[in-house]
Structure 1
Amino acid sequence: MSFSVKEAAANFCAALRFLTIFPLPWRQEEDSSRFRRSVGWFTFLGILLGGIGALLAWGVASFASPAVTAVILLCYLAFVSSALHLDGVADSADGLLSARSRERSLEIMKDSRVGAMGVAALIFLLLGKFAALLSLPAEGLPAALFFMPFAGRCALLFSMGTMHYARKEGGMGALFYGDDMQRHAVIALVLLTVLLCMVYGSHGLLVLAGILLGFAFLRRKSILILGGATGDILGAQCELAELMTALTVSFLY
């Protein structure tokens, strides 16, 4: 194995360990220095997680009721990332909806405790995903489960490519920011658009519009209140993209 391939593999493992529950201990001690270089793998990881989700949806829908299938798929989406992004939703809601100053909002988001706004946001998010998945026919679930985690990981790149990091002292999310974030974001957008149109035809553009609408809303809110993104905002963008994907796809049936 050449040096360049080893480096690429190490960067992939760093991304996999951070974004998923799959343990790959190889060169784990180098993670903190590889996070920035691992960003190029986010799109591929979205496709990988989407592929697993599509297979799971196809298999479960063949024997379980629609409601049970939706719950199992929700569990997969939540726990494949160790609920990391759900935590971002709760913290982001507590901070952005607190009607406090920028500094105080950032402090609230850093607090490990979850407030009423965070709980409400999680409930509505999960209910929205559940309702959307439940409304889809069995044959529509695999494609939806492919695009939900894929769009979510693309949203991470959209956020880092279009938003500055809000915390001056840095944070976990800042470890991923690099000079070529806009290039990664463009690649993710093009790939997401092409695959959506391949699966849904011209309706794929409607799904893309729904994803970008949700992204733009949270982006504007984050910039106005916080001045940019944090790790929690990145996680919230991922979850919001999954929700908007499921909701928009459900409108196609």
Structure 2
Amino acid sequence: MVLGMVDFQYKNTKSETMIEDIRNLIAFMTRIPIGTENFDFEKIAEYFFIIPIIGLIIGGFGALLAYILSYIFPSTIVGIIVMFFLLYVQGFHHVDGLADFGDAWMLMGSPKRKLEVMKDVYMGIGGLIFVFFVELISIFAIIYAIEFSVVYILIAEICSRLGMLACACCGTPCSEGTGRYFVKKSDEKFIVMGLMLTLLIVFPLAGKLGVLCVILAILTGGYIARVANKHFRCVNGDVLGATNEITRMVVLLGIVFYLYANQSLQPLHNLIQMI
């Protein structure tokens, strides 16, 4: 009986620790104040595979905001406000990573020099152009997509985190920085669990389009990891942040292409049905 009580207390403590680490992961990745200020990156990285759930949380708030604002403002204004909200909730961390990634990738030099540029506090023209066009394209894609359904905001946010997970899984960890913990922990098991979580959410919502978004997310994350491994010899936190922003853009473009193609082909489908 004593052994049973000890075992129960151990399991209960372990469960509480797991919940706390997941809360800290969410707090680190967002501005949602549910974690502690001091936490162990080694521990929270063990639950990095649930990052699509963080996309679900942020995307859910974004979709709800878009739904409410659509009754007040035209879709152009709604798209801009929602994009700002999505970036704000994640603390603008990933935008900063995108700027650093753009500067380092465009620099002509050794991997060591590129990493030094990525770490400095200045933004060069490469970073500025990357941020401007990636976020601008994302805004216009959101504007078009929400004309059909606000649920596409949710799907894009979930898949953007899957892309980040794919990048971490395919990347080589750096020797320093907080990003190295997530890259070191991420392996094939992580990407499989993240993929299953994502499909369980997006497939019921969007069917074939959801599968297309998942494929685009994994391909984008893998490609950026390949670029980072080649140019920087590793994947760090800035690369992961950039992956989130770029994957969101790619997935949104995939959604827009799918919706536009279906809309353009609808008259042909109607004609075939009449015949």
Shorter-chain TM-score above 0.5: yes
Is residue 22 of structure 2 the alignment partner of residue 22 of structure 1?
no
Asked whether the 8 Å contact 1:154–1:188 carries over to 2, the reply is: yes
* Count of paired positions: 249
**Partner in structure 2 of residue 234 of structure 1:** 240
Is residue 189 of structure 2 the alignment partner of residue 183 of structure 1?
yes
Q: 1:201 to 1:32 in 2, by over 3 A?
A: closer
Asked whether the 8 Å contact 1:53–1:76 carries over to 2, the reply is: yes
**Partner in structure 2 of residue 12 of structure 1:** 22
**Partner in structure 2 of residue 248 of structure 1:** 254
Q: 1:194 to 1:213 in 2, by over 3 A?
A: same
Partners of 2:83 and 2:74 in 1: CA distance: 14
Unaligned 5+ runs, structure 2? 1-8, 260-275
**1:71-220 maps to which residues of 2 (within 5 A)?**
71-140=80-149, 142-165=150-173, 167-168=174-175, 170-179=176-185, 181-220=187-226
Per the alignment, in what secondary structure is the counterpart of residue 138 of structure 1?
coil
Bigger CA drift: 200-209 or 101-110?
A: 200-209
Partners of 1:173 and 1:17 in 2: CA distance: 15
Q: 1:191 to 1:41 in 2, by over 3 A?
A: closer
**Partner in structure 1 of residue 271 of structure 2:** none
- What's the CA shift for 1:231? 0.9
Partners of 1:204 and 1:132 in 2: CA distance: 16
> Which of 55, 59, 72 is the matching residue for 1:46?
55
**Partner in structure 1 of residue 70 of structure 2:** 61
Q: With the length of structure 1 as denominator, give the TM-score of the two structures.
A: 0.90
Partners of 2:65 and 2:180 in 1: CA distance: 33
- What's the CA shift for 1:24? 2.5
- CA RMSD in angstroms comes to 2.0
Partners of 2:225 and 2:186 in 1: CA distance: 19
Partners of 1:33 and 1:137 in 2: CA distance: 39
1:195-244 C-alpha deviation (Å, 9 max, x unpaired): 33322222333323333343333222212111221111000111111111
Asked whether the 8 Å contact 2:138–2:252 carries over to 1, the reply is: yes
Partners of 1:196 and 1:41 in 2: CA distance: 15
Asked whether the 8 Å contact 2:46–2:185 carries over to 1, the reply is: no
Q: 1:180 to 1:86 in 2, by over 3 A?
A: closer
**Partner in structure 2 of residue 3 of structure 1:** 13
- What's the CA shift for 1:180? 5.4
- What's the CA shift for 1:33? 4.8
Bigger CA drift: 97-106 or 44-53?
A: 44-53
Bigger CA drift: 207-216 or 182-191?
A: 207-216
Per the alignment, in what secondary structure is the counterpart of residue 57 of structure 1?
helix
* Identity between Structure 1 and Structure 2 (%): 22
Runs of 4+ residues over 6 Å off in structure 1: none
Q: 1:152 to 1:34 in 2, by over 3 A?
A: same
Bigger CA drift: 224-233 or 31-40?
A: 31-40
- What's the CA shift for 1:122? 0.4
- What's the CA shift for 1:194? 4.2
Partners of 1:115 and 1:215 in 2: CA distance: 24
